[in-house]
Amino acid sequence: MRLRLATYNIHSCVGADGQYDPDRIAEVLRELSADVIALQEVDSREHRGLEMLEHLAAETGLHPIPGPTLIKNTGHYGNAILTQLRIEQIRRHDLRFLNHEPRGAIDADLECGSLMLQIMVTHLGLKPAERRFQVQYLLQRVTSPHCALLGDFNEWFLWGRPLRWLKAVFGQIPTPCTFPSPFPVFALDRIWVRPGEILIRLEVHKTSLARVASDHLPVKALIQLGRP
């Protein structure tokens, strides 16, 4: 089975031009045409009355898995998954570190024919100590023979320990630049898969719409589960 994976920090649907426009984000998601899409910065707080994840799910025809990290009376904010695969099990992890902004991860088992794919989606913290704690926590929860870890890793130190730890578990994976979207110079958004041989292709989705819809570009990957 070939699957298309993608990760996208939608920046609360505020584009590189400063304009709030959920319809542009929905159109980029349709462009991706992925079986599993990891989302970060999904924001439902006082934006035209939209429940943002439900809106994006309706626009794409995909099943939503919410993973909010901030919950208030005005709405919630955080991570999410959109998928057309059958959802077997969902786990949510609290990755908050000291008094920094709350962070979390969605950890889901998705049915792919006779195989199970573990999908982990996250948005790591801004401080190096945060990311070290969060990466160690997540790597301890990689349990499936087939696993994909997707998200905004906020890691720009190529020599940092979090990237070294990730490479030790997932191997060398292409890391194209995604931020800022008009002229990307940082590889903040990544897709890690194991075993490494299931990866067929990984690239940035850099259409003209994607360059303006958010301040991050999406990353997409094609993987092969089972024998070709």
Q: What is the pLDDT of residue 76?
A: 82
Question: Per residue in 8-49, pLDDT tens?
Answer: 999 999 999 999 999 999 999 999 999 999 999 999 765 655
Task: Estimate the crossing angle of helix 22-32 against helix 52-60, to 10 degrees.
Answer: 40
Identify the three-state secondary structure at position 171: coil
d(C-alpha 145, C-alpha 170), whole Å: 11
* Tokens at 81, concatenated: 């998954």
Q: What is the pLDDT of residue 46?
A: 59
Q: What is the pLDDT of residue 123?
A: 98
The arithmetic mean of pLDDT across residues 75-97, rounded, is 95
The arithmetic mean of pLDDT across residues 123-137, rounded, is 96
Among the listed residues 37, 17, 85, the one whose alpha carbon sits nearest the alpha carbon of residue 205: 37
d(C-alpha 133, C-alpha 33), whole Å: 33
d(C-alpha 159, C-alpha 94), whole Å: 26
| Structural domains of the chain sorted by starting position, each given as residue range(s) with its CATH number in brackets | 2-224 (3.60.10.10)
The arithmetic mean of pLDDT across residues 140-147, rounded, is 96
Is residue 51 pLDDT above 90, yes or no?
no
Neighbours of 208 (CB within 10 A): 7
Q: What is the mean pLDDT of the chain?
A: 94
